[in-house]
């Protein structure tokens, strides 16, 4: 496996910090790291609320990238509470597609760190609702 996946996985693990923030908000159970087109790593954690106003770790990492002036990324790794990786949810996939409609299919996703399984967003989101 390319060493960048280890960097992404470790960057996500580094910010993962599950905690109850208030009676209504928890955060940090899931953490994500993305690799921007420029080669910089951005991270984010999930924020869960009782009224569905929360945010996934992947979108949080993307917003961090955008906040820092970049608009494109090539790789994403999300680390679940058990330390395993997983696919982005539908809302995260939709943001990725809308952010990079011409190149989203090539975004790589770390599905299984231990078994070095990587898939492309285009494989799990083959046809976008707006077409190409």
Which of 46, 103, 45 minimizes the C-alpha distance to 74? 103
The model's pTM is 0.94
The CATH topology of domain 3-124 is Cytidine Deaminase; domain 2 (3.40.140)
Decide which of 53 and 88 is more confident: 88
Weakest-pLDDT range from 2-11, 68-77, 78-87, 123-132: 123-132
* Residue-wise pLDDT tens digits, 92-125: 999 999 999 999 999 999 999 999 999 999 999 8
* Residue-wise pLDDT tens digits, 12-22: 999 999 999 99
132, pLDDT greater than 60: no
| Domain limits, the chain | 3-124
129, pLDDT greater than 80: no
Q: Which of 14, 29, 58, 114 is catalytic?
A: 58
58 included as an active-site residue: yes
């Amino acid at each position: 496996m390319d060493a960048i996946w280890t960097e992404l996985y470790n960057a996500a693990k580094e910010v993962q910090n599950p905690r109850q923030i208030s009676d209504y908000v928890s955060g940090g159970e899931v953490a994500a790291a993305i690799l921007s087109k420029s080669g910089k790593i951005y991270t984010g954690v999930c924020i869960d609320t009782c009224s569905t106003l929360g945010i996934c770790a992947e979108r949080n990492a993307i917003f961090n990238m955008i906040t820092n002036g970049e608009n494109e990324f090539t790789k994403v790794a999300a680390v679940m509470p058990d330390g395993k990786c997983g696919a982005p949810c539908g809302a995260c996939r939709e943001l990725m597609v809308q952010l990079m409609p011409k190149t989203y299919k090539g975004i790589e996703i770390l599905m299984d760190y231990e078994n070095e399984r990587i898939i492309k967003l285009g494989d799990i989101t083959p046809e976008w609702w707006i077409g190409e």
